[in-house]
Structure 1
Amino acid sequence: MPRGGGLMAPRVHSLLLLVLWTLTAPARPGPEEEGDGGWRRHRAALAAVAEEEHCTVERRADLSYAEFIQHYAFSRPVILQGLTDNSRFRALCSRKRLLASFGDNVIRLSTANTYSYQKVDLLFQEYVEQLHHQDPTSLGNGEHLGWRQWVGEVGVPRCQDPCFLLCSLLTDTLYFFGDNNFTEWASLFQHYIPPPFGLLGTTPAYSFGIAGTGSGVPFHWHGPGFSEVIYGRKRWFLYPPEKTPEFHPNKTTLAWLQDTYPGLTPSARPLECTIQAGEVLYFPDRWWHATLNLDTSVFISTFLS
């Protein structure tokens, strides 16, 4: 036996064990799956949009169903904390994993504006890639009109690729939410745990969305529901049904925040709060609400209809 041969076998054995452990051990999440899930904040986000000075929506971490029905279900919004554990769903919603699973899916983008019906179909991968080039300081203010071209028989404005998501379509902001065939996403939704509270006579329906910094939906109302932020932050503005907000239906929430909000008296201001990742906002029936994504946000709503 060669000199040292008796010492080589244990070393080889240890090396083989290390290789086998590396191959079989659970994969550690990479940078794309940690923290913000790869949905990086835009460099201009902090300058363009910010959280409110004071949150005026109550947060509850220990809410019972009886308390929910008595104090919130029919009267006021509330932010729910810690009622469900969606860590598995959150991991599946990282940028890397969604692209791997659904990158080749065709999705439909809708405009957030109240009276606009503009739709754009494209691959999910293309939409995600362009989110990282979106400038929140220019959404909805017409600064990028030079990028537009008129297409179709009705002359609907659309930007030249690859920049059509970077600009304003008149005052429209396109993003991925609702108006999609989400049966293709059933393998993802089966891992989502909805809020444990329901309302008698209603049926829950999911709507999944991903939106860039500075985008959002202007004031509107519909039936009650929940909205959970998976990644990012979403700022909400809410008024009760009897208090119609002052807003232009064809301007973005960002434009409203910059132009109208500063002039509101304290009594005319809405309830408002920024929903953090892992939190769920409940909004009652017919409450006016508008949203503004402070980061690239991944979110899911459960509508009770």
Structure 2
Amino acid sequence: MEMLLPSMEDGRKPEGELPIGIEGPCNIERRNGKHFKQEEFINEFAYQKPVIIYNIDNKKFSKNCEREEILKNWSDKPVVLNSANTYSYTRKETTFGEYVKKLMGAQDVGILGNETFILFGDIDQKIWKPLLDTYNLPLWNLPEYEPALSFGMAGVGTGVPFHFHGPGFAEVIHGTKRWFLQPYEKRPNFNPDQSTLQWYYNIYPTLKEDEKPLECLMKPGELIYFPDKWWHATLNTETAVFISTFLSPVPKSKLFNDDHKTEL
């Protein structure tokens, strides 16, 4: 069966698709993007805890990511699929059109994460620049950090198990995605090679209240920020299109050069 990306106009899902994990708590703090100030972001969240920011406007990018539009412009472009396990050490090369039309599908609960391949993580920044340039970067930032974009798309039930890295933002463009987060010192109970779906069905229901992670369902127009080294896992509750803004420290040499130019 050919997978259909949700449409901005009619919100349709792939034919016969049944959402997974839509119902559930949202215990992550939320802020209105129209009123959320950089100072508040730094003082309350940047180094302390996650936050969801709503009222995010990326209509142009959303339009460019609708099925007909994105296939028209990007079908023949090469992409690299990553295994959907904690370490994502296995990769497969294909084209974007081949992935969307034939390879992208719902997660089978019996298939391990290291046997599942989805489009997420690094993409060729030069090839995809025309699309990425239509994305409005988050208005909030960390001092002396610079952004790098990562574009992804995956079927219902897929996701990435618990892992951690540097800070960043993530936004759902089409579909929905459930996020699970825990601070670094509170390591979750999970198998790094199992899929998020297996964890969600087998481990999550057994957790005591004080063992459960922070979580929330992310929808289009919402942005989540995760601090440095926070454990996080994702579950695509519907077929989803998403983009992340990873934040990395600016190299000292670049900071020095920028300061030197300012002095000149």
Q: What is the Cα deviation at residue 58 of structure 1? A: 1.3
Q: What is the Cα deviation at residue 208 of structure 1? A: 0.5
Deviations 1:160-198 (A, max 9, x none): xxxxxxxx68x5211001232131111111111111111
Query: 1:60 — aligned with what?
Result: 31
What is the letter of the counterpart of residue 191 of structure 1? T
Query: 2:52 — aligned with what?
Result: 79
Which residue, out of 186, 190, 194, partners 1:243? 186
Q: What is the Cα deviation at residue 32 of structure 1? A: 4.8
Alignment of structure 1 residues 110-189 onto 2, 5 Å: 110-130=82-102, 134-136=105-107, 138-139=108-109, 141-142=110-111, 171-189=114-132
Q: Verify the 8 A CA contact 1:107 1:123 in the aligned structure 2.
A: yes
Larger Rg: 1
Residue 80 (structure 2) pairs with residue 108 (structure 1): yes
Evaluate the alpha carbon distance shift between residue 196 and residue 86 of structure 1 in structure 2; reply closer, same or farther with a 3 A threshold: same
> Where does the alignment leave 5 or more consecutive residues of structure 1 unmatched?
1-30, 143-167
SS of the counterpart of 1:255?
Answer: helix
What is the letter of the counterpart of residue 62 of structure 2? R
Query: 1:19 — aligned with what?
Result: none
Q: Distance in 2 between matches of 1:116 and 1:223?
A: 16
Q: What is the Cα deviation at residue 51 of structure 1? A: 2.2
Which residue, out of 222, 236, 261, partners 1:293? 236
Q: Distance in 2 between matches of 1:269 and 1:52?
A: 16
Residue 10 (structure 2) pairs with residue 35 (structure 1): yes
SS of the counterpart of 1:203?
Answer: strand
Q: Distance in 2 between matches of 1:42 and 1:245?
A: 34
Q: Distance in 1 between matches of 2:15 and 2:228?
A: 34
Query: 2:260 — aligned with what?
Result: none
Deviations 1:55-84 (A, max 9, x none): 1111110311111111111111010012x4
Q: Verify the 8 A CA contact 2:122 2:151 in the aligned structure 1.
A: no
Query: 2:206 — aligned with what?
Result: 263
Q: What is the Cα deviation at residue 120 of structure 1? A: 1.1
Greater RCO, 1 or 2 (C-alpha within 8 Å, sep 6+) = 2
Query: 1:153 — aligned with what?
Result: none
Evaluate the alpha carbon distance shift between residue 257 and residue 107 of structure 1 in structure 2; reply closer, same or farther with a 3 A threshold: same
Evaluate the alpha carbon distance shift between residue 116 and residue 229 of structure 1 in structure 2; reply closer, same or farther with a 3 A threshold: closer
Which residue, out of 219, 231, 234, partners 2:174? 231
> Where does the alignment leave 5 or more consecutive residues of structure 2 unmatched?
1-5, 249-264
What is the TM-score normalised by the length of structure 1? 0.75
Residue-pair matches, total? 241
Query: 2:256 — aligned with what?
Result: none
Query: 1:275 — aligned with what?
Result: 218
SS of the counterpart of 2:145?
Answer: coil
Q: What is the Cα deviation at residue 52 of structure 1? A: 4.1
SS of the counterpart of 2:173?
Answer: strand
Residue 42 (structure 2) pairs with residue 69 (structure 1): yes
What is the letter of the counterpart of residue 9 of structure 2? E
Q: Distance in 1 between matches of 2:223 and 2:7?
A: 24
Q: Distance in 2 between matches of 1:33 and 1:55?
A: 24
Q: Distance in 1 between matches of 2:161 and 2:7?
A: 31
Q: Distance in 1 between matches of 2:69 and 2:31?
A: 31
Evaluate the alpha carbon distance shift between residue 118 and residue 219 of structure 1 in structure 2; reply closer, same or farther with a 3 A threshold: same
Q: Distance in 1 between matches of 2:180 and 2:103?
A: 24
RMSD: 1.8
Evaluate the alpha carbon distance shift between residue 301 and residue 135 of structure 1 in structure 2; reply closer, same or farther with a 3 A threshold: closer
Q: What is the Cα deviation at residue 236 of structure 1? A: 0.3
Evaluate the alpha carbon distance shift between residue 33 and residue 54 of structure 1 in structure 2; reply closer, same or farther with a 3 A threshold: closer
Q: Distance in 1 between matches of 2:87 and 2:202?
A: 20
What is the letter of the counterpart of residue 186 of structure 1? K
Query: 1:8 — aligned with what?
Result: none
